[in-house]
């Protein structure tokens, strides 16, 4: 089995002005496509190619740099495209309750997530993760690591992820990562995040 680059459910320019079309196109057709191709090369003719990406990452030998970097890159970007939408739906229901329970308020969650994204040194990701009982946690990981991988210091399943590699924002925002993080909140599709939450708990 080999993994395929997913098609986006929206056009490259449809997240503007928050995320520009050229960044979206390069990010999807070059970066994500590259991780996908290199993951397939790394697992070809190994027992890993019989497993889902979640199974591969959850049981990963972290010394396997090719699968760690490219499997992480494949999975992380799949989640990233999925949680954004030009017709972003608002937050409500059990996920809204869980955010209030775990962080005190939506604003306190946003502050914690934004801090995690802004302070991840160099390249990496910020995450909102859900534990089995429904508790939520914010964390960040370097490079293409993610909370599914063993020993990365994040618990729970990732239900929302933000790419803070410079390739995700530099054309439009240059060094202004906090502005990009703030703009991300305008395109989060909370209906999709809520579906991820229900699946995780
Ligand atoms: Mn990226």
> Does a structural domain hold residue 59?
yes
pLDDT band at 88 (very low <50, low <70, confident <90, very high): confident
> Does a structural domain hold residue 73?
yes
> Does a structural domain hold residue 26?
yes
The predicted-structure confidence for 153-191, as pLDDT tens digits, reads as follows 888 999 999 999 999 999 999 999 999 999 999 999 999
Cα–ligand 1 centroid distance for 29 (angstroms): 11
Cα–ligand 1 centroid distance for 136 (angstroms): 24
Cα–ligand 1 centroid distance for 123 (angstroms): 9
The predicted-structure confidence for 24-48, as pLDDT tens digits, reads as follows 999 999 999 999 999 999 999 999 9
> Does a structural domain hold residue 13?
no
Residue 118 burial by CB count (10 A; 0-12/13-18/19+): exposed, middle or buried?
A: middle
> Does a structural domain hold residue 118?
yes
The predicted-structure confidence for 102-150, as pLDDT tens digits, reads as follows 999 999 999 999 999 999 999 999 999 999 999 999 999 999 999 999 9
Write the CATH number for 95.
Answer: 3.55.40.20
Q: How many domains is the chain built from?
A: 1
Residue 169 burial by CB count (10 A; 0-12/13-18/19+): exposed, middle or buried?
A: buried
Domain that holds residue 154: 19-201
Cα–ligand 1 centroid distance for 93 (angstroms): 30
> Does a structural domain hold residue 2?
no
Q: How many CB atoms lie within 10 A of CB 194?
A: 19
> Does a structural domain hold residue 86?
yes
């Amino acid at each position: 089995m080999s993994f395929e680059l997913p098609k986006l459910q929206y056009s490259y320019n449809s997240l503007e002005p928050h995320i520009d079309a050229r960044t979206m196109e390069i990010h999807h057709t070059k970066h994500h496509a590259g991780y996908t191709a290199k993951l397939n090369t790394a697992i070809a003719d190994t027992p890993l190619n019989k497993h889902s990406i979640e199974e591969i990452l959850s049981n990963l030998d972290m010394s396997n740099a090719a699968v760690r970097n490219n499997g992480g890159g494949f999975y992380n970007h799949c989640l990233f495209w999925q949680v954004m939408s030009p017709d972003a739906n608002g937050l409500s229901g059990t996920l809204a309750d869980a955010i209030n329970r775990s962080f005190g308020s939506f604003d306190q969650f946003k502050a914690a997530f934004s801090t995690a994204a802004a302070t991840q040194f160099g390249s990496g990701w910020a995450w909102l993760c859900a534990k089995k009982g429904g508790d939520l946690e914010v964390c960040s990981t370097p490079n293409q690591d993610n909370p599914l991988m063993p020993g990365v210091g994040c618990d729970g399943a990732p239900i929302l992820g933000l790419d803070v590699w410079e390739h995700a924002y530099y054309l439009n925002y240059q060094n202004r990562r906090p502005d990009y993080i703030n703009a991300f909140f305008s395109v989060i599709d909370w209906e999709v995040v809520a579906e991820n939450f229900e699946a995780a708990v």
